[in-house]
């Protein structure tokens, strides 16, 4: 009798353990596949346009077979932090969204009260543009950019005409609507590689930042492993100092996207002051964190910008990031302007978005 009861108890315990294991597997599966491609409707005066994003939260609205056609108002009202993560040259927003989900769980223990948004810039002639834009959302006004021009804030070439930076402006406007997100306190913009270039230039050039900080929001920019930076003057690294670069070797080294020359020719930048000192003073006060993988040192690395304009900034991504930090400190001392920027280095990591996103350097900003 005792043996029978022991066997029965063993089977019950076994079933409990199996059920618990199965539940954990299913929860992990759901979590790993939780990012969904959705269309957000941005309203601009008497018109509107739609923009694709991946999110970690499922909207209460439903629409297309492969997405939800949503206004941001349909997300939970108890969101306190929004993390906007920008994809790189591969435009794999879903992968970035999942990496941030994992990082949030490591930092907070859950994704509760956190909304992750991974904007997806359509660009032609790439394959996923062909797949989604032509087959799925032909009837919606969705902007499309030429190749990698979205990473520079340039204007779209198809659909509604818009600078890629104006997409973030519109996103900020929606997120800071108290009726939609009454509990929101913090907005974090994070980008890696080409996404890092985008976030870096947006952090300098946008005119929206101060009004939202004055309204009580904390806004943070995380710039990770970009291939190049935006310089404020004609000076570039030279040994232990900075001086003008050789225009014979590289006549356009100081033109946008590498410098401020020609800035006024771009659709987003026409209203932005190109006074270097004034622009740097505004930028220096913004909360910016540079994150560099210490092994991102391949001078012939995949998708590394090796144009002379980029080479004027350093040999590789780690070199360029380190030198840009020195350049900011150089301008800070030269012009007597205090910096609100930090630099964080991730050991034993190269050009690896997952390791960067899950690093302490990124997670500490959540």
**Pair 117, 87: CB distance under 8 Å:** no
CA–CA gap between residue 116 and residue 99 (Å, rounded): 10
CATH architecture label of 37-363 = 3-Layer(aba) Sandwich (3.40)
CB 130 within 8 A of CB 97: no
Round the average pLDDT of the chain to a whole number and report it. Answer: 82
Q: Which residue has the higher pLDDT, 186 or 125?
A: 186
Alpha carbon distances (Å) from 144 to 47, 86, 96: 17, 16, 20
Answer with the residue of higher pLDDT: 181 or 324. 324
DSSP code, position 154: P
Torsion angles phi and psi, residue 188, rounded to 5: -115, 125
Q: Write down the pLDDT at residue 35.
A: 61
How far is 39 from 61, CA to CA, in rounded Å?
11
Helix (H, G, I), strand (E, B) or coil at 238: strand
**Is the CB of residue 110 less than 8 Å from the CB of residue 223?**
no
Q: Is 301 within 8 Å of 188 (Cβ atoms)?
A: no
Give the span between the Cα atoms of 238 and 216, in whole angstroms: 41
Q: Give the number of residues written for the chain.
A: 366
* pTM for this model (two decimals): 0.85
- Chain segment 315-332, per-residue pLDDT in tens: 999 999 999 999 999 999
In angstroms, what CA-CA distances link 326 with 124, 158, 311?
37, 40, 16
Read off the tokens for 31: 């979590």
Condensed to tens digits (0 to 9), the pLDDT of residues 168-180 reads: 999 999 899 898 8
DSSP string, 309-343: HHHTT-SSHHHHHHHHHHHHHHHHHHHT----EEE
| Cβ atoms < 10 Å from Cβ of 347 | 8
Higher pLDDT, 129 or 23: 129
Contact 291, 355 (CB under 8 A): no
pLDDT band at 9 (very low <50, low <70, confident <90, very high): very low
Neighbours of 330 (CB within 10 A): 16
Would you say residue 22 has pLDDT above 70? no
- Give the model's confidence band at 342: pLDDT under 50 very low, under 70 low, under 90 confident, else very high: very high
Domain range summary for the chain, segments of one domain joined by +: 1-32, 37-363
Tens digit of pLDDT for each residue in 198-220? 999 999 999 999 999 999 999 99
**What are the DSSP calls for 157-186, one per residue?**
SBSS--BHHHHHHHHHHHHT-TTT-TT--E
Average pLDDT over residues 107-120: 78
Report pLDDT for 94: 80
| 3-state secondary structure at position 364 | coil
Distance CA(175)–CA(142), nearest Å, equals: 20
The two tokens of residue 154 are 């340039």
Find which of 25-29, 144-148, 250-254, 300-304 is predicted with most confidence, using mean pLDDT.
250-254
């Amino acid at each position: 009798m005792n043996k029978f009861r022991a066997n029965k108890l063993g089977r019950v315990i076994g079933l409990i353990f199996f059920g618990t294991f199965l539940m954990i597997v299913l929860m992990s599966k759901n979590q790993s596949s939780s990012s969904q491609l959705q269309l957000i409707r941005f309203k601009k005066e008497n018109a509107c346009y739609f923009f694709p994003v991946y999110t970690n939260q499922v909207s209460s609205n439903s629409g297309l077979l492969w997405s939800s056609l949503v206004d941001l108002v349909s997300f939970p009202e108890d969101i306190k932090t929004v993390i906007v993560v920008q994809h790189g040259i591969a435009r794999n927003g879903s992968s970035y969204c999942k990496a941030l989900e994992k990082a949030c769980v490591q930092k907070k223990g859950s994704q509760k009260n956190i909304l992750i948004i991974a904007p997806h810039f359509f660009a032609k002639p790439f394959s996923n543009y062909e797949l989604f834009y032509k087959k799925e959302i032909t009837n919606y006004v969705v902007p499309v950019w030429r190749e990698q021009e979205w990473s520079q804030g340039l204007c779209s070439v198809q659909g509604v005409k818009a600078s890629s930076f104006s997409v973030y402006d519109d996103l900020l406007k929606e997120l800071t609507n108290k009726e939609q997100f009454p509990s929101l306190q913090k907005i974090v913009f994070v980008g890696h590689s080409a996404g890092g270039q985008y976030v870096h230039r947006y952090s300098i050039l946008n005119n929206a930042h101060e009004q939202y900080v004055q309204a009580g929001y904390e806004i943070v920019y995380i710039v990770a492993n970009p291939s190049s930076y935006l310089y404020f003057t004609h000076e570039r690294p030279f040994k232990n100092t900075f001086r003008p670069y050789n225009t014979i070797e590289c006549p356009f080294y100081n033109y946008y996207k590498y410098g401020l020359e020609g800035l006024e020719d771009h659709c987003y930048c026409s209203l932005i002051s190109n006074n270097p000192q004034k622009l740097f003073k505004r930028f220096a006060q913004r909360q910016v964190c540079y994150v560099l993988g210490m092994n991102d040192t391949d001078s012939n690395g995949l998708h590394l910008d090796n144009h002379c304009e980029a080479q004027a900034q350093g040999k590789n991504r780690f070199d360029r990031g380190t030198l840009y930090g020195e350049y900011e400190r150089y301008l800070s001392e030269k012009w007597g302007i205090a910096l609100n920027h930090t630099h964080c280095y991730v050991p034993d990591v190269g050009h690896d978005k997952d390791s960067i996103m899950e690093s302490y350097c990124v997670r500490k900003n959540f």
